[in-house]
Structure 1
């Protein structure tokens, strides 16, 4: 039995996304675990050997020079990117956590070759949606459903009176529109339903549609003739509450297919934390949220959008959406994972005594 105090090695996340560019599931979970006392080293893709480590808090460091890592020390390895399974032998892994945020089908099919190996290599497997969990649970004894969430305090600023970072003049001017502003943030990717976006924008020329996020496909090019649809590209995470404070509603216009059926949109929780009415296409994880309107056809989506603007912006409904988001926070998710890490680490430690 263990008689000395528990000393947990730092969690190491190998380069996949730069921390400041994206603030998605890995960044949020790892940062909130650091707030619970876990030491975390998050490796950026972009390297800067003159500044190998950037310290964000007492327990969280962004590594900008992977050659500066101490490969002799033990780490808790946090895997999201399948190919890093091949890199595990180069590390002293005291624990391996595999986090499955997406299915490995359609756009993500190239990663399927690593998926089972990523699961089998792990001590703990986390799944972001019920569909991923049900597929994975028979393959490993320690599989846990840990859905996405919101950084509630960050997005709740949209309805608070605290000053917010102000974007550039062009963005400010766009958001001064007196007509309804319909917002979106996240990856502008191939799984957006561009035919649906065209229909609702063409049917409601008096609405302004603003899309924020990295553009990774040619879909927006097909809508360049619509003057009320604006593709802003990336904006700082810190600026999203400001945009949310100017949106009248927010949308999740995903196609319905394998990739999206297995998705658990982070933006859904963030929209609710910002108090916004939310309209989505019919996704399994979205159906669980009573405060999200679901459009099962283009006509129904448009009708829900119109009704949300008229009916869903009362203080009571804003508070109800925020209350839901507060219960679905990254802090809550991190606390659950903390318990799983400690119990698994203790079990391995004690069994080796």
Structure 2
């Protein structure tokens, strides 16, 4: 690997990227890192500006990130977060539930992800759990990740905090819950966020009830988009009563937004920007291609 193509998710290692002989640099911008708790926004901003002078292309996972990166990088391509479609579709044919669900009654409302206050709307969950004690919330994920001093999830009889589970186990839980939830607070971080679990939930065959997020604007025909606690409540009731979005549209979207399909699109971009037959080792953008 005398001249690797460097692909980074971390903008503050621009100096390292610049120092390594390479055939090109790619920045994959998956979050507004500077908006996360305990992160120095100025450091992230400076790193992205520096990286923008080195990398020829930036892939961004939300329209907000795409628009912001356009001012920094010569080529910016919007590609949302995706799913392992074949893997999560196994949830549609799993007859035996995990033992952790044995004592949790239906209906079960599932959330999978980091249980941190800047990512999960605890007030919304608590409000809905109080209004509907017969609905049982199943929360899977590490508590306090990225925000260890934040408020913890609500402690109620119908809120079950199972902690993190291995990636390979997730379809088992999805197979035996009734609806998937994305209760997301609105803040600077989530305004730039495309939820990783969105297409995973859909591929598993679960109806999705979620907060209305900017990044999901073009996908509102695939899930029950909710702008308030009352609307979230109404949509949960609809989903649990059997109302569904267009399954053909969902399956088509999951195919388009699978890892394989996105990789093929990204590879085409890379082939265009970094043609292998003409690349010679370089350091930074200033060294020209042969």
TM-score, normalised to structure 1, is: 0.71
Q: Once the two structures are superposed, what CA deviation does each residue of 1:85-113 show, in whole Å capped at 9, x if it has no partner?
A: 13224422221110111124432525233
Q: Distance in 2 between matches of 1:95 and 1:105?
A: 25
Q: Distance in 2 between matches of 1:193 and 1:340?
A: 37
**Counterpart residue number, 1:203:** 131
Q: Is 1:332–2:265 an aligned residue pair?
A: no
The answer on whether the counterparts of 2:26 and 2:58 sit within 8 Å (CA) in structure 1 is yes
**Counterpart residue number, 1:55:** none
Q: Once the two structures are superposed, what CA deviation does each residue of 1:280-339 show, in whole Å capped at 9, x if it has no partner?
A: 1110122211121111111111111111111335xx855543332122212111011101
- Correspondence for 1:130 among 26, 39, 63: 63
The answer on whether the counterparts of 2:17 and 2:25 sit within 8 Å (CA) in structure 1 is no
Give 1:219 deviation, angstroms.
5.3
**Counterpart residue number, 1:181:** 108
Q: Once the two structures are superposed, what CA deviation does each residue of 1:228-279 show, in whole Å capped at 9, x if it has no partner?
A: 1122221111111111101100111111122111111111111111111111
Give 1:75 deviation, angstroms.
1.4
Structure 2 residue matching 1:149: 3-state secondary structure: coil
Q: Distance in 2 between matches of 1:220 and 1:317?
A: 37
**Counterpart residue number, 1:231:** 161
Q: Distance in 1 between matches of 2:249 and 2:25?
A: 38
**Counterpart residue number, 2:188:** 258
CA RMSD of aligned residues (A): 2.3
Q: Distance in 2 between matches of 1:324 and 1:92?
A: 39
The answer on whether the counterparts of 1:272 and 1:324 sit within 8 Å (CA) in structure 2 is no
The answer on whether the counterparts of 1:275 and 1:322 sit within 8 Å (CA) in structure 2 is no
**Counterpart residue number, 1:77:** 6
Q: Where does 1:104-123 land on structure 2 (aligned, <5 Å)?
A: 104-107=33-36, 108=39, 109=41, 111-123=44-56
**Any runs of at least 4 consecutive aligned residues in structure 1 with deviations exceeding 6 A, and if so which?**
none
**Counterpart residue number, 1:352:** 289
Q: Distance in 1 between matches of 2:22 and 2:231?
A: 50
Q: Once the two structures are superposed, what CA deviation does each residue of 1:16-71 show, in whole Å capped at 9, x if it has no partner?
A: xxxxxxxxxxxxxxxxxxxxxxxxxxxxxxxxxxxxxxxxxxxxxxxxxxxxxxxx
- Correspondence for 1:142 among 75, 84, 91: 75
Q: Is 1:248–2:160 an aligned residue pair?
A: no
The answer on whether the counterparts of 2:117 and 2:150 sit within 8 Å (CA) in structure 1 is yes
Q: Distance in 1 between matches of 2:225 and 2:18?
A: 46
User: 5+ unaligned residues in a row in structure 2: which ranges?
Assistant: 281-287
- Structure with higher RCO (Cα < 8 A, 6+ apart): 2
TM-score, normalised to structure 2, is: 0.86
User: 5+ unaligned residues in a row in structure 1: which ranges?
Assistant: 1-8, 10-72
